[in-house]
Structure 1
Amino acid sequence: MEGVVSVNPNHVCKLHTTRSWDFLNLTLKDVGSPQESDVIIGLLDTGIWPEHPSFNDTGLGPPPSKWKGACTGQNFTCNNKIIGARYYNSDNSSDISDIQSPRDSIGHGTHTASTSGGVEVAGASYFGLAEGIARGGVPKSRIAVYKVCWAFGCSYADILKAFDDAIADGVDIISVSLGSPWPSDYFDDPIAIGSFHAMKNGILTSNSAGNSGPNPVTVSNFAPWSLTVAASSIDRKFVARMELGDGQILAGTVINAFDLNGTSYPLIWGGDGANYTIGSSPDIARYCLNGAMSTDKVAGKIVFCEAGLDGSGVLAANGVGTIMSDALIVNPDYSFSWPLPATLISPEDGKTVLDYIRSTESPTATIFFSNAWKDVMAPKVVSFSSRGPSAISPDILKPDITAPGVDILAGWSPLAPSTVYQDDTRSTLYNIISGTSMSCPHASGAAAFVKAAHPNWSPAAIKSALMTTAHVLDPSKHEDLEFSYGSGQINPLAARDPGLVFDASETDYINFLCKQGYNTSTLRLVTGDNSTCNNIKPGRGWDLNYPSFSLYVKDGEKISAIFTRTVTNVGAANSSYTVTFDMPPLISVTVEPPVLVFSYVGESNTFTVNVTGPVISQWPITSGSIKWMDGTHVVRTPLVVYNYLPGAPYNLDSEQAYTMTRESLGLTHSNVYHKTGMGQSRAHPQFL
């Protein structure tokens, strides 16, 4: 039919599931300007709980005049904070927990919305843990909700329609904490297509990088016109101590909101509680699977389990609590919460507990309420955060940036389970969860903060400001270097005054796609207009005006590339920037010109970066940086040189090819799922 740009089969995406803003040095005294109430953050997610205290509209006037949206659905009311809400269900699919309105029954959307733009709420906590002021990055911003995700996932068709509506409604920033489990060409990716159209209309899209790390080539949402956000830790982690009857105290990384008041209970190994009546055995019951243990043997006891499951097996057998140790979860760098007193200890400590049980006539133990400990390693990219390089465009460094995504306290739907156990009926208005879903709204909030200060800046300028001012992360903590953290951790205050920005327009991205090998037909599947690739030959993407540099080199080839970039002055009218660079041995970098002189705000200057080096083979990820400095500003861009990873799925055009390549690397879905500890959280799609 005339007007149809493309037709694609409908697929399902997965949700990528606060001290954090203070950790980013964006304190309460830095926010609250009148301009912030003009910024509208649109969230494509699971909806929102409108009565939540994080969305109280006290003190907020009517929505900005640019707002054209609507509030739809039964049993749902907007206010001057949540100014718009829509929901989509093209598949007409639902679960018993789903509500056919923008109302959130999963919790994920309420969490991301309150993280990016929630108002200040004193005394917030998760059952007494992490008590304090909960707030978003821009508390006075407005929120527009587009419910595209349900218990089964998030439909491509719904995502595209939501992007259309958000653009037409007048949002300023779009936050999307979801993604496809495999890479697709841009013309097959609804988030890439939707965010391209948002960019055309002056709207930056912030995307989660995915939760398939720490394996390489797993980053999703890698379109160069959107901001791809990895997840990193904050300086707080939750630890639950346990004490054995002989006085030994062990600690595990877990969110335990149950208080046994120091009372000791009989301790049993799961294997000793096997329910033989139903055919269980010690080899099965040791993992505390649901139904595998006998109530007669387990009731009233703390159970030592050799797997980190959801606690349902111990609950079903009337156990008091659980001490877990999983050989595949050695040093967890993020926490889960369970529906009963619990801690998750190391495999080595697990052997200590088992030895104590077997050598003691009447073993006992107790589990203590979690404590918040200072994490001196923060910020550090968390293990589950997806890594680069990009499977489709290796010339673009992804992820772009990292933001807090570990153990984040934020709003929650009171209808959603409060722990990893799907049938946990306890209700809470705040929850502590982890994921790139949590880091994405931090970046969205930071982008809204910059947008409030510079309402006329383009999406590329806002993105550039966030990237070039980012805090540099410690490379010694990250073997994947920039493929884990991009330019570094967001620094919202500095991003408001970056000095120079790398701007880009629709035309720049069209040229990039043409050089990627798109023809006029495939290009129009992304742009939806009459764009052409006439007279543009396929080539490398080195001249896209991107605020980072990525150079992949095939085995046996020399390191050689020339990058062209243009920077625009957004600082002082009369300024001069001098270049410096920090590169590892064997890589030579020259920048021409070495000094950029500006006489007015808005003036642009172009420079080239020539990167050379020897023939390389099996070259590890090597990186450095280029900095432009004027005495006040430091405009930093990372530069990464690397070989193709063996078997890495570059330029794939099908799910099957991607799956085959991943399997050839031994990176099957099942072992990634378990290695990251995500197998324990099927009830919470934000962790998937």
Structure 2
Amino acid sequence: MVKKKPRNSNAPIDFTSADFESYLDYSKHRSCWRHMVAHLHAQKKRMTKHEIEEIKKISEFTTPCFASLSLQSHVYSSLAKESLLHSYGRSFNGFVARLSDEEVARIADMEGVVSVFPNTKVQLHTTRSWDFMSFPEPPMGSYEGDVIIGMLDTGIWPESVSFRDEGFGPPPAKWKGICQTENNFTCNNKIIGARFYDTDNLADPLRDTKSPRDTLGHGSHTASTAAGRAVENASYYGIASGIARGGVPNARLAVYKVCWGGGCSPADILAAFDDAIADGVDILSISLGSEMPAAYNKEPVAIGSFHAMKNGILTSCSAGNKGPYRRQISNYAPWALTVAASTIDRSFVTKVVLGNGQTILGTSLNNFHLDGTSFPLVYSGDAANITSAMSPNIAGICFPGTLSTLKTRGAVVLCNILSDSSGAFSAEAVGLIMASPFDEIAFAFPVPAVVISYDDRLKLIDYIRTTEYPTATILSTETTTDVMAPTVVSFSSRGPNPISPDILKPDVTAPGSNILAAWSPRGLSSVWVFDDRQVDYYIISGTSMSCPHVTGAAAYIKAAHPTWSPAAIKSALMTTATIMDPRKNEDAEFAYGSGHINPVKAVDPGLVFDASEADYVDFLCKQGYNTTHLRMITGDSSVCPSNEPGKAWDLNYPSFGLSLLDGEPVQASYLRTVTNVGSPNSTYHSHITMPPSFAVLVEPPVLTFSDVGEKKSFKVIITGSPIVQVPIISGAIEWTDGNHVVRTPIAVFQQ
């Protein structure tokens, strides 16, 4: 989810950024003293201001921490009872406690403790999208009903018609979970389980409900995108009207609410992973990620998804919304599936008609009707609130209080930047025009509004300056066809992988722009936090939206092939992905990975690149992890055979990455093994696509199989002249048997 921090890090987000999906303020840090004060209040102890200040001083040396994975009982006994916040041990052992720095050091040195790290915050990152991918709705009663998707998000709104359970039988026998029913929450045969977690007291008392119920909208949106039932005539105030459905509407949902108005706690994320694995989910979906890259043994999603992989569960993750800058990608662990965001062939156009007849095209979700009536057009820089000492530059931003109501009342106001419209709204404007580079995203506002390009903003200023009585009107939004789709949206985080550059990330891309899906009626209905309208379906953008598309596709494959490993499902999605046009995506594989998912082809990939826990352990050892650090991730007695680091090239991954220093010669060798999951008797021929300055050798160039499940290995050798100041050079290897095409991208780039 695209994000902008408000000036007050403890206040709700002001929704003035380019993301606007049910968004909250995720503070990087939250002082422990609040929790101490709350604890003392709970004991009815009255405190003076002096006592509170003393607590604050003490808390500066106290950090919420994890002590995770393999623990012995004496560790628990060493903690004061009130320090222990949460423990989990259903799938891996660990606990969360408030510890001083001295206690952290003492606990970390205890026998049996493999990892202690701080509990920093994590951020959250459709009537057309599934049809755009030519993925039909499966019939009721199909094998998807045995697949359970676990959603780690902001909860779910169980009363939404997207989650009705008509026609469903009881939950699968493998299901071992529970439904927490606090505050009138109910499960059914569609939502078969629900839990909520709030170790760090992140719930906003004004917005959140202490239950699995979604009061923000994000969790309902992602869950319905992955597995929502078909709903006719769904729309946002008539915009994008049609049948809204998820990719696998017959699959079951298990909900794990880990995000609140105050953010998402890694302690809760790991607890949810722990429960979900024990509950019996088949696929996990997590549309959130850490703010900054961290080593795999310090990153909660990496640790949780590793344990899920050990138990045969694939974790589908959002790539993050820090694009278009490179090396900003989230959720980069090779055992997880990382999803970028791209457009679909539907866009929303809102027109501005000027008094001289000229029409300017913009984007928004404008359901308001001005009936073609023209109003005075005012540039905000010309309407500064002089009484409050506002300059034209400040007024151009259109913050509340910066504009003179005498000049803006009843006018259409042009602002220099994208905002939540509160400034013009408070200035009694009838409409709002804003400039922004985010032209792929349509936002909803509480007033007639449109977002235009910076170039068009200059045209409007010129019109205002050269016209005695400039006027304009804003028309209602129209739905149009985007002939350029799919392209990766600008906000989608780009690779390369910040921790293991030779593991190409993201893995795939999927629809993540302007997606209509279920919403919580208690969530925001526009970008303005005080908009009190209620909606059941909302249109938002982000890799949070693309992730559940891949989750649904992965569940579809899992239903067809219940014994396939997480790596096999991931490989099927990657090697059958539709090739993206690098001329429309200059970041190439750093933007879209293997390409755009094709769920229909992915269910029959022909060959898969499989990998086990042992393969990932070997990868970590070659990445320089010693036995101690390795166990921080695995939580078991895994051992690295040596402390000699190696390359990531031999991990059986469905892509090839080669990171080089500027001017370093191109020379690399990769070993891969494929498993035949297609025809029993088949022969695959390799075909190489690479710029002529590189030589790619595949040995052997032909693979012949005589049985399903048979494995064959091959080596790939890449050589070439040194590359200098070249960001990325792309190619691919395709294996074909006349029926299947198994494609693996090659990316050579500078670090």
**CA-atom RMSD in angstroms:** 1.3
Match of 2:40 in 1: none
1:145-184 matches, cutoff 5 A: 145-184=255-294
1:132-211 matches, cutoff 5 A: 132-211=242-321
Residue pair 1:31, 1:139 contacting (<8 A) in 2 also: no
| Pair 379,33 (structure 1): closer, same or farther in 2 beyond 3 Å | farther
- 2:224 aligned with 1:117: no
Cα distance, 1:351 vs. partner?
2.3
Secondary structure, in 3 states, of the residue corresponding to 1:160? helix
Cα distance, 1:307 vs. partner?
1.6
- 2:188 aligned with 1:79: yes
Distance 1:531 1:366 in 2: 67
Deviation string 1:465-500 (CA, Å, 9 cap, x unpaired) is 000000000011111110110000000000000000
Secondary structure, in 3 states, of the residue corresponding to 2:459? helix
- Which of 286, 289, 295 lines up with 2:399 in the alignment? 289
Which amino acid in 2 is paired with 1:618?
A: Q
Distance 2:482 2:630 in 1: 47
Cα distance, 1:254 vs. partner?
1.9
TM-score, structure 1 as length reference: 0.91
Match of 2:134 in 1: 25
Distance 2:572 2:724 in 1: 35
Residue pair 2:439, 2:452 contacting (<8 A) in 1 also: no
Cα distance, 1:426 vs. partner?
1.2
Secondary structure, in 3 states, of the residue corresponding to 1:362? coil
Secondary structure, in 3 states, of the residue corresponding to 1:464? helix
Secondary structure, in 3 states, of the residue corresponding to 1:476? coil
Which amino acid in 2 is paired with 1:228?
A: T
What is the total number of aligned residue pairs between the two structures? Answer: 639
- Which of 234, 240, 247 lines up with 1:130 in the alignment? 240
Distance 1:259 1:65 in 2: 53
- 2:475 aligned with 1:368: yes
- 2:537 aligned with 1:430: yes
Secondary structure, in 3 states, of the residue corresponding to 1:513? helix
Which amino acid in 1 is paired with 2:187?
A: C
- 2:459 aligned with 1:352: yes
Cα distance, 1:633 vs. partner?
0.2
Match of 2:32 in 1: none
Distance 2:597 2:227 in 1: 16
Identity %: 61
Distance 2:741 2:562 in 1: 23
Residue pair 1:298, 1:318 contacting (<8 A) in 2 also: yes
Distance 1:390 1:159 in 2: 22
Distance 2:419 2:438 in 1: 16
Of residues 625-634 and 33-42 in structure 1, the stretch that sits farther from structure 2 once superposed is 33-42
Distance 2:365 2:525 in 1: 11
Mind listing any 5+ residue stretches in structure 1 that lack a counterpart? 645-688
Which amino acid in 2 is paired with 1:386?
A: S
| Pair 31,14 (structure 1): closer, same or farther in 2 beyond 3 Å | farther
- 2:360 aligned with 1:250: yes
Match of 2:512 in 1: 405
Which amino acid in 1 is paired with 2:664?
A: E
Deviation string 1:300-343 (CA, Å, 9 cap, x unpaired) is 22111122111001111221110122xxx346222222221011
Match of 1:511 in 2: 618
Cα distance, 1:133 vs. partner?
0.2
Distance 1:346 1:569 in 2: 50
Deviation string 1:205-229 (CA, Å, 9 cap, x unpaired) is 0000010111111111000000000
Asked which structure has the greater CA Rg, the reply is 2
Match of 2:97 in 1: none
- 2:586 aligned with 1:476: no
| Pair 283,552 (structure 1): closer, same or farther in 2 beyond 3 Å | closer
Distance 2:299 2:521 in 1: 33
Which amino acid in 1 is paired with 2:675?
A: T
Match of 2:420 in 1: 310
Match of 2:343 in 1: 233
Distance 1:130 1:619 in 2: 42
Residue pair 2:202, 2:263 contacting (<8 A) in 1 also: no
Distance 1:502 1:89 in 2: 38
Match of 1:70 in 2: 178
Which amino acid in 2 is paired with 1:165?
A: D
The answer to which structure, 1 or 2, has the higher relative contact order (CA under 8 A, 6+ apart) is: 1
Cα distance, 1:558 vs. partner?
1.5
Match of 1:378 in 2: 485
| Pair 422,458 (structure 1): closer, same or farther in 2 beyond 3 Å | same
Secondary structure, in 3 states, of the residue corresponding to 1:640? strand
Residue pair 2:183, 2:209 contacting (<8 A) in 1 also: no
Cα distance, 1:31 vs. partner?
5.4
Which amino acid in 1 is paired with 2:288?
A: L
- 2:558 aligned with 1:451: yes
Residue pair 1:514, 1:536 contacting (<8 A) in 2 also: yes
Deviation string 1:407-435 (CA, Å, 9 cap, x unpaired) is 11111111111111111111111111100
Deviation string 1:331-372 (CA, Å, 9 cap, x unpaired) is 622222222101112222222222332333333211111111
Residue pair 2:114, 2:629 contacting (<8 A) in 1 also: no
Match of 2:118 in 1: 9
Match of 2:723 in 1: 616
Distance 2:685 2:643 in 1: 33
Cα distance, 1:593 vs. partner?
1.0
Which amino acid in 2 is paired with 1:204?
A: L
Secondary structure, in 3 states, of the residue corresponding to 2:461? helix
Residue pair 1:179, 1:221 contacting (<8 A) in 2 also: yes
Distance 1:189 1:545 in 2: 23
- Which of 237, 262, 273 lines up with 2:383 in the alignment? 273
Deviation string 1:252-309 (CA, Å, 9 cap, x unpaired) is 1222222212222222222333323323243322221111123333222211112211
Residue pair 1:31, 1:138 contacting (<8 A) in 2 also: no
- 2:688 aligned with 1:581: yes
Residue pair 1:238, 1:255 contacting (<8 A) in 2 also: yes
Distance 1:268 1:471 in 2: 47
Secondary structure, in 3 states, of the residue corresponding to 2:743? strand
Distance 1:175 1:4 in 2: 29
Cα distance, 1:7 vs. partner?
1.7
Match of 1:260 in 2: 370
Which amino acid in 2 is paired with 1:347?
A: Y
Secondary structure, in 3 states, of the residue corresponding to 1:196? helix
Secondary structure, in 3 states, of the residue corresponding to 2:240? strand
Secondary structure, in 3 states, of the residue corresponding to 2:118? coil
- 2:677 aligned with 1:570: yes
Distance 1:619 1:345 in 2: 33
Cα distance, 1:536 vs. partner?
6.7
Distance 2:237 2:415 in 1: 25
Distance 2:664 2:397 in 1: 51
Distance 1:474 1:45 in 2: 32
Secondary structure, in 3 states, of the residue corresponding to 2:550? helix
Distance 2:587 2:163 in 1: 38
| Pair 483,251 (structure 1): closer, same or farther in 2 beyond 3 Å | same
Secondary structure, in 3 states, of the residue corresponding to 1:573? coil
Distance 1:323 1:617 in 2: 44
- 2:133 aligned with 1:57: no
- 2:606 aligned with 1:499: yes
| Pair 348,554 (structure 1): closer, same or farther in 2 beyond 3 Å | closer
Residue pair 1:567, 1:604 contacting (<8 A) in 2 also: yes
Residue pair 2:438, 2:490 contacting (<8 A) in 1 also: no
Distance 1:107 1:310 in 2: 18
Secondary structure, in 3 states, of the residue corresponding to 2:341? strand
